[in-house]
């Protein structure tokens, strides 16, 4: 099992949409960034990439590349999901916290969980999202920005134990037929 941790922060500014967890939230300001500046998805992607020892989102999606300007972080999360699959990792769970004084996140959390789960092809029960304020303290407390923390647990496909019936059907257990077995040989 592998554990990953991610953190992201973006400044709140006028004339931007507020998108968090892949959900557009009606609010007078949005987050400033090269992409859509979705702090929650950025923290989750960094946690996933970190657990797999694959670097971070800056490595894979640099803000110096025009192709990522204004891109949806859901699309970036899909790319991270593909990287995990290519490297034979399975997501066990994600736990994340959004830190924002305003707006209130509670009405949007279930939609965020669904969006993340669908994008990563996992169950919504594997995704937990919480939100908190900082009681008026710091840059998030003064509504200058929003931040997010995320942790995740990954497992390698090869760590799953399969019975003999699966080996007979050409699945894992050293069969050389699946991606996991081909990578080991």
Per-residue pLDDT tens over the stretch 4-27: 999 999 999 999 999 999 999 999
> 106: domain range?
2-159
Q: Is 167 within a domain?
A: no
Please report the pLDDT score of residue 157 as a whole number: 86
Q: Is 8 within a domain?
A: yes
| pTM across the whole model | 0.85
Per-residue pLDDT tens over the stretch 111-142: 999 999 999 999 999 999 999 998 888 888 88
Per-residue pLDDT tens over the stretch 64-113: 999 999 899 999 999 999 999 999 999 999 999 999 999 999 999 999 99
Domains: count for the chain = 1
Q: Is 173 within a domain?
A: no
**Binding site for a divalent metal cation: which residues?**
8, 10, 42
Q: Is 169 within a domain?
A: no
**Binding site: which residues?**
8-10, 34-35, 42, 56-58, 100-106, 132-135, 139
Q: Is 135 within a domain?
A: yes
Which tokens hold the place of 106? Answer: 């509670």
Q: CATH number of the domain at 138, please.
A: 3.30.1330.50
Q: Is 183 within a domain?
A: no
Q: Of 38, 9, 35, which Cα lies nearest the Cα of 23?
A: 38
Q: Is 11 within a domain?
A: yes
């Amino acid at each position: 099992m592998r554990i990953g941790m991610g953190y992201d922060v973006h400044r709140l500014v006028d004339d931007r949409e507020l998108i968090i967890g892949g959900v557009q939230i009606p609010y007078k300001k949005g987050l400033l960034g090269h992409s859509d500046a979705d702090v929650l998805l950025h923290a989750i992607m960094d946690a996933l990439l970190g657990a797999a020892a694959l670097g971070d989102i800056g490595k894979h999606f640099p803000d110096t590349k025009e192709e990522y300007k204004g891109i949806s972080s859901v699309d970036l999360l899909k790319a991270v999901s593909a990287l995990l699959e290519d490297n034979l990792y399975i997501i066990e769970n994600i736990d994340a916290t959004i830190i924002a004084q305003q707006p209130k996140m509670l009405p949007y959390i279930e939609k965020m969980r669904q969006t993340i789960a669908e994008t990563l092809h996992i169950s919504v029960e594997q995704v937990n999202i919480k939100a908190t304020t900082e009681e008026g303290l710091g840059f998030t407390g003064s509504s200058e920005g929003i931040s997010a923390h995320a942790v995740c647990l990954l497992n390698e496909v090869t760590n799953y134990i399969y019975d003999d019936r699966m080996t007979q059907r050409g699945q894992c257990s050293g069969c050389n037929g699946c991606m996991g077995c081909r990578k080991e040989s």
